[in-house]
Amino acid sequence: RVRRKVRGAVDRPRLCVFRSAKHIYAQIIEDTTGTTLVSASTLCKEVSESLKGTGNIDAAKAVGAAVAKKALAKDIKEVVFDRNGFLYHGRIKGLADAAREAGLSF
Query: Can you give the pLDDT at residue 9?
Result: 77
Contacts within 8 Å (CB) and 24+ apart, 9-14: 11/78, 12/78, 12/79, 12/80, 13/37, 13/76, 13/79, 13/80, 14/79, 14/80, 14/81, 14/82
Query: Can you give the pLDDT at residue 4?
Result: 67
Q: Which fold has domain 2-101?
A: Nucleotidyltransferase; domain 5 (3.30.420)
> What's the predicted TM-score (pTM) here?
0.92
Q: Which residues of the chain have pLDDT under 50?
A: none
